[in-house]
Amino acid sequence: MIRGNGGIIAKVTRLLRRAGLCLSLFLTLPNDEYEPRTFAFRFGIPLVLKVTNRTVSTEADALRYLNGVVPHLPIPRLIGSFELDDKVYTIMTKLSGHRLLDKWQDITAKKCTDVVVKEVTEILYQLWDVRQPAEIRGQVMMSASGHGLPHPRTLHESLGGPYSSTIECYDSMCDTKMSNIPPHISTALAQDPIVWVHTDLRMQNVLVDDDGHVTGIVDWEDSGWLPRHWQLHILRRPQLGCMGAWVIHWQSGFCCDDDTECAYKASLDGVLVYPL
């Protein structure tokens, strides 16, 4: 009888989730061609629905954690989430503002440096002030759910980690074992702090108002505990959404602390062979 009731409950739960999904899709429209898994609610409802094609290391996991430890951070607030057909559907608040990428032509290089990147830097330092919990201290490539993150070696197609240390993480990416790497390189990498890193911090994920002030940062799905110098790689590598005055500032106008800059330089010395 208990087994039968459990089966009925599971079926009802699945039916309710599917009904909830149908209602959500009816109330939303795709955001744009660059964000095919993100849907904005219609009828003035200030919410967003995002689909994650996995059940761990999701946007919901990241927002739930960050909303709790840094509630003042200008990021979406998690409203709720549900799992259906090996996917997770996350409903979150919609932040005001325009994508920096869309407003780029209207923002001067000076305003980019004096306003936009300054405010993004302030947000980063708030994020980096979050201490890794003692029970997982030192672990790398770990999401808020305690699972791995999209691995650079698989071009982010599958999860890797968590790893017990930065060195073990690099071991999973290098063609040469880290034990064969010169000690000064491995030491520099190991000394860099483990912080919460936004792995897609590009202009399409930074929102600004009409005056160029930052209103928020979105797309936290693949964020997690990583060496801090990985954030520099993401900001300093020219690519779509990382160009012009934005990338020039991060390359030559921004300097992190000595440990992180040393780790960044060490990672470029034949160690990091896959783009982050």
* 0.85 surpassed by pTM: yes
Residue 5 scores a pLDDT above 70:
no
Residue 32 banded pLDDT, cuts 50, 70, 90: low
- Taking residue 108's Cβ as centre, other Cβ atoms within 10 Å add up to 11
The structure tokens listed for 203 are 């202009």
> What is the per-residue pLDDT across 214-266, written as a single tens digit (0 to 9) for each?
999 999 999 999 999 999 999 999 999 999 999 999 999 999 999 999 999 99
The b-or-e profile of 206-227 (16+ CB within 10 A means b, else e) is bbbeeebebebbbbbbbbbbbb
Is 252 buried (19+), middle (13-18) or exposed (0-12) by CB count in 10 A?
Answer: exposed
> What is the per-residue pLDDT across 88-138, written as a single tens digit (0 to 9) for each?
999 999 999 999 999 988 888 888 888 999 999 999 999 999 999 999 999
Domain boundaries, the chain: 4-93, 98-269
Please give the full DSSP string across 186-205, using - where no structure is assigned. Answer: HHHHHHSPEEEE-TT-SGGG
Q: Measured between alpha carbons, how far is 21 from 89 in angstroms, rounded to an integer?
A: 8
| 4-93 is classed CATH 3.30.200 | yes
- The CATH number of 98-269, from 3.30.70, 1.10.260, 3.90.1200, 3.40.50, is 3.90.1200
